[in-house]
Structure 1
C-alpha cells in the first residue's frame, strides 16, 4: 500500500509531534498564545519511520536507512548528538572512543542502526588512517 505522500498535506490529521501534539494544533496563533513549545515542534520517531516507509515504497534504500537512523536519534539528547558529530569527524577520535560511543547508542538509547553506522565508520577510519 502506497503512502499518501506528501504526508503533511494528505495525512495531516494523523501527524503528531514528539510530544503528541497534532500538526493542526501547531499554528502561529497557538505559538502566540504560548500553547506551543520548542518540544512540540520536534518530529516524532513514528513520523520518521513513516517517511522511511515512503522512501522504501519509492525504492530508495539509502533514504530508508537514513530515516531509520533518524527515528532512533529522536530520543538521544542534543548534546550527545553534537558530541557524536564531533567524534565522527576525521582525526577527532580513537577507535576505542568510537566503539564506546556505539555501545552507548545501543545500550543507553536503543539505537542499533546508529551504533552500527558508528562501528562501520570506526573500521573505515582505521583503514584510512584517520583515527587518533
Structure 2
C-alpha cells in the first residue's frame, strides 16, 4: 500500500479509487455501467478484496476503532474462502451444530488451507466457550 490511510481518504471508492482493484485485478475505475452492459465485468468483479478490507482496517485503526479494525481483518481473511465453506463454518458455529473436535478441525483448516489465523483463533475460542467449563 502506498501510504497509511487516514479519515480524509474515506470513502475509498470516492477518494482513493486508484488504490482499489477487483478480485480479477481490474482497476476499480473500470467498473462502470457501460462496462457492465458490454459484458466486460463479471459478478466476481463486484466482490470486495482482502486488500480493500485491509485498507479499511487501517482507516478504522487510525480513527481509534480497534475492534472494527479487527473485524475488517477477519473479513479480509474470509475474502478468499469459497462461499460454501464460509456457510459451513457459520453453521458449525451455531450452538449444538458441531462438536469441539469439528470446530478445532475447521480452525486448523482455516489456518493451514486458507491462511486465516484470526478466523481460526475465533473458532478455537468458540470451541473453548462451548465445550470447556
Task: Report 1:58-73 matches (<5 A).
Answer: 58-73=63-78
Task: Report 1:26-65 matches (<5 A).
Answer: 26-65=31-70
Q: How far has the Cα of 1:51 moved from its partner?
A: 0.2
Per the normalisation by structure 2, the TM-score is 0.91
Of 98, 102, 121, the residue aligned with 1:97 is: 102
Determine the C-alpha separation between the residues in 1 that align with 2:127 and 2:64.
Answer: 28
Of 15, 25, 29, the residue aligned with 2:20 is: 15
SS in 2 for 1:68: helix
Query: Which deviations, in whole Å up to 9, do the C-alpha atoms of 1:8-34 show, x marking residues without a partner?
Result: 111112211111111111111111111
- Note the residue ranges of structure 1 that are not aligned, 5 or more in a row: none
Determine the C-alpha separation between the residues in 2 that align with 1:34 and 1:6.
Answer: 27
Query: Which deviations, in whole Å up to 9, do the C-alpha atoms of 1:54-100 show, x marking residues without a partner?
Result: 00001111111111111111111111001001001111110000000
| Residue 78 (1) aligns with residue 88 (2) | no
On the 8 A contact 2:5/2:55 being kept in 1, the answer is no
Q: Which runs of 4+ in 1 moved over 6 A?
A: none
Determine the C-alpha separation between the residues in 2 that align with 1:52 and 1:2.
Answer: 9
Q: How far has the Cα of 1:2 moved from its partner?
A: 4.6
Aligned counterpart, 2:111: 106
Determine the C-alpha separation between the residues in 1 that align with 2:5 and 2:39.
Answer: 37
Determine the C-alpha separation between the residues in 1 that align with 2:5 and 2:106.
Answer: 37
